[in-house]
Amino acid sequence: MSSKNIIYKTVAISVITALSLVIAKNLWEILCLSISQWNEPILYGDSWTFAITKTTEGATIQSLLSQHNEHRIVFSKAAALFETNVLNIPPGQTALIQTLILLLLSCGIWAYLSGKILKSKTLWLITSLAGSALILNPWQYENLGWEFQTPWMFINTLTLFSAVVITFGEKAMSPVASTLQDILVAAIPWIAIFSTGQGIALGLALCICSWTNSKRLGLISTASFTSALLSTYYLLDYQKPAYHPDYQFNPHYFLKILTGGSWQGLAFLIVTSAVVLAINYKAIKIPLRIAGAALMPFLFSIVFAGMTTFSRSGFGIDQANTSRYVSHSLMAGLSCIMIVALCLQKRSSQVKLLNVGPGVLTLLAFSSLNFNSFAQDFRDQWENARTFQETRRANFKCLGKKASLIKKGIEHTCPDGPHHKDIALEYFKGNTAIKPKGWHKKIIHE
């Protein structure tokens, strides 16, 4: 074996091992958060809306479709009703398990998408692992420890699934498969928009990228997206939340979200992939529909950043650093490493070390180019996730105790928080549409 092959194998094994360890650590931490929520399910902030979702037959549809902030969260409310009415458990108890399943699905879909686009097995393996590491990114810890944020992961999964759907060309499909593709492209904008407001970003991204596949899919997606948008904003009488700032567009806020906010590594991936593309774009020889699929996650991130800037930049530039925004911003990183892989693919047969390019870039992005404290920064994010969940669990227990003591005429002080006064205490008193069950009922009597 030549010295070049020895070096290549050593580097490749090292990169694959490093990515695998990152993925394993991320999955373990997410599993722990999920188990913690299952054992002691809490409600925090917007999650309290699950407690007031009406369960009577006539009111259920209206409650499911009703607006929450800027969103329609039909599937989250339906899941909460299923938990309480069918499983007989508190609302939100399965939420983080759902999040974990969706993250695993995203990793699987990303691996399949990479296999559809890349021909080199080694490049496919490393790009798949690099993408999975990004999908499980700990800098999005708020969404990993908050039971209300499952729709964010659902939208990411649906974005990757949509990218896969448009990779299939009409000529290579049977009539049945072509019809199924049409149905999926028509259904996805509706499913996305009625899952959460970010679904609009997915709907628009799919609408644009479908045209790279065919005029047929372009027309179907455009009609579906337009009708879904008109339904949620006009037929269902959308109202702008009074406590939200006026609409405005702050370019600094937009760039902050698009480039990862508190996670600086995404900016590195974007800049690096742009440079690689500028140098090697002639080496990319792929059908237009494959290019659309590869770029769809990035387009989704751009639209999401624009929407959020338009509606939230009035809160101030610091809000752009919120960890939950990383979940959708990191989708741009998936397109970035795919672009790099496509640029390197042709030359990787002559220069094998190029196969590790996407993996090396991803590891550098996780370090945010701060090699001295990479491991510490990585651990800090998971510590933030645990603290985020544990603090809110302590507050939740406090509210249960407070409701119990109020009945005895005893005052008890708890930290203030969203919906503590208008829903939380009423829930623990049994005055909301959904009553305390399981562990929720237990802590009232502790």
Segment 4-49, tens digit of pLDDT: 788 888 888 999 999 999 999 999 999 999 999 999 999 998 898 8
Q: Predicted confidence band at 370 (pLDDT cuts at 50, 70, 90)?
A: low
The verdict on pTM exceeding 0.85 is yes
Record the tokens describing residue 155, joined without a space. Answer: 């939208």
pLDDT recorded at residue 239: 78
Q: Compute the CA torsion angle 230, 234, 239, 245 (nearest 10 deg).
A: 40
Q: Predicted confidence band at 54 (pLDDT cuts at 50, 70, 90)?
A: low
pLDDT recorded at residue 446: 67
Q: Predicted confidence band at 64 (pLDDT cuts at 50, 70, 90)?
A: confident
Q: Which of 89, 96, 105, 101 is nearest to 145 (CA)?
A: 96
Residue 1, pLDDT above cutoff 80: no
Q: How far is CA 301 from CA 156, 251, 392, in A?
A: 10, 15, 29
Instruction: Provide the 10 A C-beta neighbour count for residue 171.
Output: 7
Higher pLDDT pick, 172 / 269: 269
357-367 helix and 374-407 helix, angle to the nearest 10 degrees: 60
* Mean pLDDT, rounded, for 65-82: 86
Q: 281-285, 367-371, 413-417 — which one is most confidently predicted on average?
A: 413-417
Percent of the chain at pLDDT above 70? 95
Residue 165, pLDDT above cutoff 60: yes
pLDDT recorded at residue 304: 95
- pLDDT digits over 289-315, tens only? 999 999 999 999 999 999 999 888 888
Residue 56, pLDDT above cutoff 70: no
Q: Which residue reads 């299952």 in tokens?
A: 38
Residue 357, pLDDT above cutoff 80: yes
Record the tokens describing residue 180, joined without a space. Answer: 């199924």
pLDDT recorded at residue 227: 96
Identity of the amino acid at 110:
W
* Mean pLDDT, rounded, for 426-436: 86
Higher pLDDT pick, 143 / 444: 143
- pLDDT digits over 77-108, tens only? 899 889 998 999 999 999 999 999 999 999 99
* Mean pLDDT, rounded, for 358-369: 85
pLDDT recorded at residue 172: 82
pLDDT recorded at residue 58: 47
Residue 283, pLDDT above cutoff 80: no
Record the tokens describing residue 87, joined without a space. Answer: 């499983």
Phi, psi dihedral angles at 161 (to 5 degrees): -65, -40
CA 10 to CA 281: how far, in whole Å? 29
The per-residue pLDDT of the chain, averaged, comes to 89
- Cα 437 to its chain centre, rounded Å, is 29
Q: Which of 366, 287, 321 is nearest to 129 (CA)?
A: 366
pLDDT recorded at residue 67: 78
Q: What is the 3-state secondary structure (H, E, C) of the chain?
A: CCHHHHHHHHHHHHHHHHHHHHHHHHHHHHHHHHHHHHHCCCCCHHHHHHHHCCCCHHHHHHHHHCEECCEECHHHHHHHHHHHHCCCCCCCCCHHHHHHHHHHHHHHHHHHHHHHHCCCHHHHHHHHHHHHHHHCCHHHHHHHHCHHHHHHHHHHHHHHHHHHHCCCCHHHCCHHHHHHHHHHHHHHHHHHHCCCCCHHHHHHHHHHHHCCCCHHHHHHHHHHHHHHHHHHHHHCCCCCCCCCCCCCCCHHHHHHHHCCCCCCHHHHHHHHHHHHHHHHHHHCCCCHHHHHHHHHHHHHHHHHHHHHHHHHHHHCHHHHHCHHHHHHHHHHHHHHHHHHHHHHHHHHCCCHHHHHHHHHHHHHHHHCCCHHHHHHHHHHHHHHHHHHHHHHHHHHHHHHHHHHHHHCCCCCCCCCCCCHHHHHHHHHCCCCCCCCCHHHHHHHCC
* Mean pLDDT, rounded, for 331-351: 88
Q: Predicted confidence band at 57 (pLDDT cuts at 50, 70, 90)?
A: very low
